[in-house]
A and B are shown apart, each in its own frame.
Chain A
């Protein structure tokens, strides 16, 4: 009880110094949390992947298409429940800066992705309209799309300006669902391609395959790939998760850099905090010597110093964590659809707290050791 009081009062002795240290900690813990969340956001696609979905693509690369007739062959494979085609459209909305994913999708697509929640009436309207589109909630909010709006996209792979009518807005089943996408009918794309650019017609970017039993994913994948072995367009089938991670892996260097940087800020604040504690302990040498003379042992002094350091670190951590949530929300809204999912995870919060406490403990290490070792006679001399 007394000890805690003493720790508290000591921490508040240099209000300016403690205040500044806490501000530094808050900044560090906050930016650490945001950077971790950025890394998480990168993996969000893989996190949202369902185990019963496979992706079939051309073995050469994602950029090389597959023939349309593969669809029926894949559907005939044992264990396959549904197959939907999806083509990456890569259109530009007004300005190349306004990036969001656009897919031309086959009819079964939305039944394979039940986490995209669309009101029935809107879905029926979408099915009826050849040039209809369904957009995610986040995308709709970013660009102000409403049902009935006409959205022109300038094609890069499929030339020309394409106009779509928003027929529905989907919500995610949970916070981890990507609601920044734009979907329209694959048939519309293909019919238009047939007349305008025949070389691009009847080509599929990827097939999304729904399987009946998630445990048989590997088997079914192999069976699909075996169908097209030694054909001009060999396929590569993998789980949706593996497919998504494949994407993330390619930008891994940047992720690693972000991770390293997020830990650098912890080291920066560690230097600040260690300095604060070292200065504080140096100024209190006389007090520590007095306590020792009165019969208090090294353990008591260590508790005082560690307690103070951990207390300051804990205050910084709490404020930093509390601020992380609104700042992350603000950041996510500023970034728009660049990060479809931007959620502060529990792991991030735990990591923030752990880092803060590690900083607090490490900063106290040196001063505590010094306080324990100081000779009483030398310490007392520091007063006079």
Chain B
């Protein structure tokens, strides 16, 4: 299959209190289209940083990083924003919904960056919300929804623009067991039915089980030996 993510010799470090702290080094990684990858590792291992780099919200120090056919290290700030709008869907641990917008409006938000008409937007949003099982909650505000429901809204928002990859940072980290299972099942469906490539950072073994492959990070280095 066609690779969606190609990473070669990637390195990233942070400056903290005058000291340079390496976070990632010598990362080589290829993720095929349609894959569902779990990124695991102890906290501070750099897994979220790697995810952020792939999602184009952080910049590496060196190395190449091709995602969805584009070398995103060369893009300017605003080109990168356009690229994200087209290619990346985000699922956050704390859902990151706009509290002042309804479920419908939250999902519609990324479509405002497209040239779709109001009617087309309505159609897409309704379809997406029905797909995540919230067809009857469209006019509710995030504060009126449970954590699991909020995360489902976030998933609907992530797929609404039909992005190439979905990035999920601890998507079940803030949820109870039942809700977490529902969310993971939903993500599996997105992977199976819509063919979305999913990259998920987690430290929950239950979540990791759903992934097709697991990459392990430790102290900023990708470990060999997948399971």
Within the complex, are A and B direct neighbours (CB within 8 Å)? yes
Question: Which of A's residues lie within 8 Å of B, judged by CB?
Answer: 2-3, 5-6, 9-10, 13, 286-287, 290-297, 375-377, 380, 383-384
A377 touches B52 (CB 8 A): yes
Which residues of chain B from 22 to 64 have any CB-CB distance to chain A below 8 Å in the complex?
52, 55, 57-58
B110 touches A380 (CB 8 A): no
Other-chain contact of B105, A2, A290, A377 (Cβ < 8 Å): A2
B85 touches A294 (CB 8 A): yes
The 7 closest A-B pairs by CB, nearest first: A295-B85, A9-B100, A376-B57, A290-B96, A295-B84, A377-B58, A295-B81
Taking the closest CB of chain A, its distance from the CB of B59, in whole angstroms, is 9
A293 touches B57 (CB 8 A): yes
CB pairs A–B below 8 angstroms (27 shown): A2-B105, A2-B108, A2-B112, A6-B98, A6-B100, A6-B101, A9-B101, A13-B100, A286-B96, A290-B98, A291-B98, A293-B88, A294-B84, A294-B85, A295-B82, A295-B85, A295-B88, A296-B85, A297-B78, A297-B81, A375-B58, A376-B57, A380-B96, A383-B92, A383-B96, A384-B93, A384-B94
Q: Return chain B residues, CB-CB under 8 Å to A5.
A: 105
Q: Return chain B residues, CB-CB under 8 Å to A294.
A: 84-85, 90, 109-110, 113, 157
Taking the closest CB of chain A, its distance from the CB of B191, in whole angstroms, is 21
Bound-state CA distance A359–B112 (Å) is 30
Q: Return chain A residues, CB-CB under 8 Å to B81.
A: 292, 295-297
Q: Return chain A residues, CB-CB under 8 Å to B55.
A: 293
Taking the closest CB of chain A, its distance from the CB of B95, in whole angstroms, is 9
Q: Return chain A residues, CB-CB under 8 Å to B94.
A: 383-384
Bound-state CA distance A68–B94 (Å) is 92
User: For the complex, is B133 an interface residue (Cβ under 8 Å from A)?
Assistant: no
Bound-state CA distance A233–B86 (Å) is 90
| A5 to B, closest residue via Cβ | B105
A293 touches B84 (CB 8 A): yes
| B100 to A, closest residue via Cβ | A9
A292 touches B98 (CB 8 A): no
| A377 to B, closest residue via Cβ | B58
| A2 to B, closest residue via Cβ | B112
Q: Return chain B residues, CB-CB under 8 Å to A297.
A: 78, 81
B92 touches A376 (CB 8 A): no
| B108 to A, closest residue via Cβ | A2
| B80 to A, closest residue via Cβ | A295
Q: Return chain B residues, CB-CB under 8 Å to A376.
A: 52, 57-58
DSSP majority for the A interface?
helix
Q: Return chain B residues, CB-CB under 8 Å to A2.
A: 105, 108, 112
| A1 to B, closest residue via Cβ | B118
Q: Return chain A residues, CB-CB under 8 Å to B3.
A: none
User: For the complex, is B99 an interface residue (Cβ under 8 Å from A)?
Assistant: yes
A377 touches B90 (CB 8 A): no
B96 touches A287 (CB 8 A): yes
Taking the closest CB of chain A, its distance from the CB of B133, in whole angstroms, is 22
Taking the closest CB of chain B, its distance from the CB of A373, in whole angstroms, is 10
Bound-state CA distance A204–B98 (Å) is 78
Bound-state CA distance A5–B108 (Å) is 13
| B93 to A, closest residue via Cβ | A384
A380 touches B113 (CB 8 A): no
Q: Return chain A residues, CB-CB under 8 Å to B78.
A: 297
Q: Return chain B residues, CB-CB under 8 Å to A380.
A: 57, 92, 96
A296 touches B113 (CB 8 A): yes
Q: Which of B57, B58, B157 has the most C-beta atoms of chain A within 10 angstroms of its own C-beta?
A: B57
| B109 to A, closest residue via Cβ | A294
Q: Return chain A residues, CB-CB under 8 Å to B100.
A: 6, 9-10, 13
| A13 to B, closest residue via Cβ | B100
Other-chain contact of A295, B93, B96, B105, B113 (Cβ < 8 Å): B113
A287 touches B58 (CB 8 A): no
Bound-state CA distance A9–B113 (Å) is 20
Q: Return chain B residues, CB-CB under 8 Å to A9.
A: 100-101
| B110 to A, closest residue via Cβ | A294
B108 touches A13 (CB 8 A): no
Bound-state CA distance A287–B99 (Å) is 9
| A383 to B, closest residue via Cβ | B94
Q: Return chain B residues, CB-CB under 8 Å to A375.
A: 58
| B55 to A, closest residue via Cβ | A293
Bound-state CA distance A380–B58 (Å) is 11
Other-chain contact of A287, B84, B85, B88, B98 (Cβ < 8 Å): B98
Bound-state CA distance A293–B89 (Å) is 9
Taking the closest CB of chain B, its distance from the CB of A253, in whole angstroms, is 51
